[in-house]
Structure 1
Amino acid sequence: MRKLVILVMGIVGLFYPMQMLLVKANIQPKLEAEDVSYIQVNRLNGETHSFEENNGYEEVIINKVVNWINTSSPSEEAIELELNKTSIVSMMKIKLKNGDVAVIEPAYNCVFENQVKTCMIADGEVIYTRNNKKIRLNSLELYDWLLVGWKYESVGAPKDELLEETLYTRYFSHLDKAYSDFIMCPKIDKVERINFDTRRHIIHASALNYSAHHGGVLFDRIHITLTDTPENGVKINKVTIQKGISDRESRIQCRRES
């Protein structure tokens, strides 16, 4: 009896570390958006598209995808390791600035019947691979985006935003060179007619300082008030600098949060 107990304890001791590794393998993956260089989606039919970190509009898309990864939940279903790669309809590569590459692909559920293995794509689940470690995740948003959502992303600025940028560039040229850094996320906050005249306006504009873009510090914001009239042209009336605005305020300024 004593020998049997020792044998059972020995078996438990052998398998316990393996169980711990399996638990650790299911730890929720965490990424930082600022560590991502680009995201590339490749389709089985040859379609491909990359979203670059240094593109202000595509950076927002990268932030969204990273957030879906970080808020997904581990799945308890098995990870199929012997799938034919030609059956994977879509795959996403996430290139990190440290050289690592993470891969996301759809998850599959497989069954054996009459010695034939049949696999079907698992709705709402993906496989996340990094450093040869695979994790199966539940994320309907990530799954939908991987299969079709990426094709419908708007990667350019809308017309009203382009108009604001054009106006800001015109008025920015009248500022002193001391404010040359305030070129990021320009906005025309308010336009007022002077005495109801459609040719004369008071303009309220704002922008962020570009140097804080990747500096790990809070943004400063410039506020400009000016008049634009046919007889006097552009005249700067007031300039103020708002130091260290919150992350939320900077996201609103850049139209990344309402």
Structure 2
Amino acid sequence: MKKIVLLIFFLLSPNIVHANFEPLTFEDVNTIEVQRSFGGKRAFSRYDGYEEVVIEKVLKRINSAEKHPDTNTFTEQKPLATLEINLTTGTVARLDPAYNCYSDNGKQVCTMTDGEVLYTVNNTKTRLKSVDLFDWLLVGWKYESKGAPEDELLEETLYYRYFNYLDEKYSDYIMCPKIDKIVRIGGSASRHIVHASALNYSGHHDGSYYRLRFSLTDTPENVVHINDISLDKNISEQESRKQCRREDRLDFFLTNQFP
């Protein structure tokens, strides 16, 4: 009977480490910082409207990665890159490239494991299998945009140009402005039907987001004419994030052929 119990414990023990892995939420994190052993580093803060998107992407990849307990008993060499995750509790979690080490005539030999990283928090190590996370840790962080991309700034500029034509009662709809679509009228480069949207800024404080949608016609003859206005009330958190992050949008210029 004891042998059966020990056998069951042995088979289940790797999953115990896996079960101890606690998924990270956005609210758990203050900042993340990447540092390369041969120079170069960058920090991302949850309090920056653009950098918080990067943090959410990293956390999503950590939580969704395939997880295994780390069984490497060798001391690892200095990692090529390290990500420190500064939690709101004061704890610092680490993410390093994973290494496989073995002894060769008494000498420790370590090789980096492609597509795997080592997640460490409170002295508990878990191997995460994620090619996207591995690639981001080594090089991807260097190419994250700083501030708003140019096409996003163009969208905001266009939105506020047309925003002035709306009634004053819509003055609160200034959060995450977006030009959803521009349609040329008769193929003309100077006549457009524009579809735009934005969230109410007050929703940032009380947690209840409304989304304003409106369309207008912009022509040299009639300047700007508002066609219709609608409100999506109490939209989901997922929809509000989609409005702000534009995760699934196509390239603005290619989609709308904006002149």
* Structures share fold, TM-score greater than 0.5: yes
Report 1:148-163 matches (<5 A): 148-163=139-154
1:119 lines up with 2:110 in the alignment: yes
1:100 lines up with 2:91 in the alignment: yes
**Residue number in structure 2 paired with 1:62:** 55
Q: Give the conservation status (yes or no) of the 8 Å contact 1:194–1:202.
A: yes
Q: Percent identity?
A: 49
**Residue number in structure 2 paired with 1:48:** 41
State the distance in 2 between where 1:117 and 1:138 align.
Answer: 24
Larger radius of gyration: 1
**Residue number in structure 2 paired with 1:256:** 247
User: How far did 1:206 drift?
Assistant: 1.0
**Residue number in structure 1 paired with 2:175:** 184
The 3-state SS of whatever aligns with 2:160 is helix
User: How far did 1:248 drift?
Assistant: 4.8
TM-score, normalising length: structure 1: 0.77
The 3-state SS of whatever aligns with 2:100 is strand
Q: What is the aligned counterpart of 2:18 among 26, 31, 38?
A: 26
Structure 1 pair 140–216 and aligned structure 2 pair: CA distance change class (3 A): farther
RMSD of the alignment, in Å? 3.5
State the distance in 1 between where 2:194 and 2:106 align.
Answer: 74
**Residue number in structure 1 paired with 2:256:** none
Q: Give the conservation status (yes or no) of the 8 Å contact 2:216–2:228.
A: yes
Structure 1 pair 230–119 and aligned structure 2 pair: CA distance change class (3 A): same
* CA displacement 1:4-55 (0-9 Å, x = unmatched): x9xx78x96xxx6x99876432324411134322221111012101122233
TM-score, normalising length: structure 2: 0.77
State the distance in 2 between where 1:64 and 1:196 align.
Answer: 39
Count the aligned residue pairs: 246
Structure 1 pair 232–246 and aligned structure 2 pair: CA distance change class (3 A): same
* CA displacement 1:66-124 (0-9 Å, x = unmatched): 1111111223551346334xx21100011233433221111111111222112221222
State the distance in 1 between where 2:222 and 2:38 align.
Answer: 59
Structure 2 unaligned runs (5+)?
250-259
